[in-house]
C-alpha cells in the first residue's frame, strides 16, 4: 500500500475557520502528528492514532511522520494557522530534501489554512490593503541582527509589517526592542494592532499607536501588525475602530 502525507493548517483557533479541505484530510488520516495543543483541536476519530510532540521538535516530528508514511501509513501533520507560514510544511520539505530516496516516492499534500496575520487583520479592518510583509521575531532559527536588518528594510520600504512570535520566554525584550527600532523610521502616530488568541474564546484586539505600543503586554499567542505611514484609523461611535491601509500609495517611503 502506498503511503500519503498531508500537512494541514488548522487556522487561528475557531472551528469554522478550518477549511473544508483540511477537515477532509484530517478525516482520511490514520495517524496524526503535531504539537499537543494543536492535536487537541482536532475532533477524535476511533482508530486514528495521535503522536504529540514538543513545539520545538519540528524536524524530528516531520521525520517521524515521513517514516510512517514511507511504511504505507496515511499520515497528517497539523499546524496552527497556515502550515506554510513559520510552520511544519517547510520542515517537511527540508527533511524530504535531506532524507532517503523513499521519502520522495509518496504523495505529499500541503493543505492551506488561515494564517494569524489574516485573521487579526480581518478583525481590525483592512490593514493589509496595500503592500505588506511578515517577519518572525523569534531568533531560534536566525540571528537577531538579521531580524533588525529586515525590520529596518520593511519600515524604510513602506511595508505594513506583521510580527509573528513577538515574545519568547527566553527573550521577553524582543518585541519592545523591535518596536523601538521601527519607531526610528516611522511616525509615532503609526497605527499598531495587537491581536491575541484570535478565533479563540479569550480573543482580544487592541489598536494603539507606535508611541504607545511598547507599554502593551504581548505573549506567544499575540500577533502584532505595525502599519505604514499610509495606514489610517476610522473612529466609529459605539463601534470598534476600523484600521485600514488604502489601496493606493501616496507617500514616498
State yes or no: residue 85 binds ligand SAH (CB under 6 A).
yes
One residue of 33, 38, 86, 132 binding ligand SAH per CB under 6 A: 86
Q: Which lies closer to ligand SAH via its Cβ, residue 6 or residue 222?
A: 222
State yes or no: residue 112 binds ligand SAH (CB under 6 A).
no
State yes or no: residue 120 binds ligand SAH (CB under 6 A).
yes
Stretch of 81-89, 93-101, 146-154, 169-177 contacting ligand SAH, by CB under 6 A: 81-89
Stretch of 38-46, 101-109, 189-197, 241-249 contacting ligand SAH, by CB under 6 A: 189-197
Residue by residue, DSSP assigns the chain as ---EEEEEE-BSS-GGGS-HHHHHHHHH-SEEEEEHHHHTTSPP-TT-EEEEE-TT-HHHHHHHHHHHHHTT-EEEEEESB-TTSSSHHHHHHHHHHHS-GGGGSSEEEEE----HHHHHHHHHEETTSS-EEEEE---SSS-HHHHHHHHHHHHHHT-EEEEES---SS-TTHHHHHHHHHHTTS-TT-EEEEEESTTSTT-EEEEEEHHHHTTS---TTEEEEE--TT-EEEEETTEEEEEE--SS--S--
One residue of 3, 80, 127, 227 binding ligand SAH per CB under 6 A: 80
Rounded CA separation 174/171 (Å): 6
Nearest C-alpha neighbor of 134 from the set 166, 177, 173, 98: 166
Rounded CA separation 17/237 (Å): 29
Shortest Cβ 198–ligand SAH spacing (Å): 4
Residue nearest to ligand SAH (CB): 81
Output the nine-digit C-alpha cell for 122: 480581518
State yes or no: residue 29 binds ligand SAH (CB under 6 A).
no
State yes or no: residue 223 binds ligand SAH (CB under 6 A).
yes
Q: Which lies closer to ligand SAH via its Cβ, residue 9 or residue 129?
A: 9
Stretch of 35-43, 82-90, 139-147, 152-160 contacting ligand SAH, by CB under 6 A: 82-90
Stretch of 84-92, 97-105, 146-154, 184-192 contacting ligand SAH, by CB under 6 A: 84-92
State yes or no: residue 221 binds ligand SAH (CB under 6 A).
yes
Q: Which lies closer to ligand SAH via its Cβ, residue 41 or residue 51?
A: 41
Stretch of 53-61, 159-167, 170-178, 237-245 contacting ligand SAH, by CB under 6 A: 159-167
One residue of 3, 112, 125, 199 binding ligand SAH per CB under 6 A: 199
State yes or no: residue 220 binds ligand SAH (CB under 6 A).
yes
Rounded CA separation 82/76 (Å): 14
Amino acid at each position: 500500500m502506498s503511503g500519503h502525507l498531508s500537512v494541514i493548517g488548522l487556522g487561528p483557533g475557531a472551528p469554522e475557520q478550518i477549511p473544508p479541505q483540511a477537515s477532509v484530510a484530517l478525516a482520511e488520516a490514520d495517524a496524526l502528528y503535531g504539537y499537543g495543543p494543536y492535536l487537541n483541536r482536532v475532533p477524535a476519530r476511533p482508530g486514528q492514532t495521535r503522536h504529540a510532540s514538543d513545539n520545538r521538535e519540528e524536524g524530528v516530528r516531520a521525520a517521524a511522520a515521513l517514516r510512517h508514511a514511507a511504511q504505507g501509513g496515511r499520515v497528517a501533520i497539523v499546524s496552527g494557522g497556515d502550515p506554510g507560514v513559520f510552520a511544519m510544511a517547510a520542515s517537511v520539505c527540508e527533511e524530504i530534501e535531506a532524507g532517503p530516496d523513499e521519502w520522495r516516492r509518496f504523495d505529499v499534500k500541503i493543505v492551506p489554512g488561515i494564517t494569524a496575520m489574516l485573521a487579526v487583520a480581518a478583525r481590525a479592518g483592512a490593514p493589509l490593503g496595500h503592500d505588506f510583509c511578515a517577519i518572525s521575531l523569534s531568533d531560534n532559527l536566525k540571528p537577531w541582527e538579521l531580524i533588525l536588518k529586515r525590520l529596518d528594510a520593511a519600515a524604510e520600504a513602506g511595508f505594513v509589517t506583521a510580527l509573528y512570535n513577538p515574545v519568547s520566554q527566553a527573550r521577553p525584550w524582543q518585541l519592545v526592542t523591535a518596536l523601538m527600532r521601527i519607531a526610528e523610521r516611522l511616525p509615532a502616530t503609526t497605527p499598531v494592532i495587537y491581536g491575541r488568541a484570535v478565533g479563540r474564546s479569550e480573543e482580544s484586539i487592541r489598536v494603539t499607536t507606535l508611541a504607545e505600543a511598547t507599554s502593551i503586554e504581548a505573549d506567544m499567542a499575540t500577533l502584532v501588525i505595525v502599519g505604514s505611514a499610509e495606514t489610517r484609523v476610522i473612529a466609529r461611535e459605539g463601534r470598534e475602530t476600523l484600521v485600514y491601509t488604502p489601496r493606493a500609495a501616496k507617500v514616498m517611503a
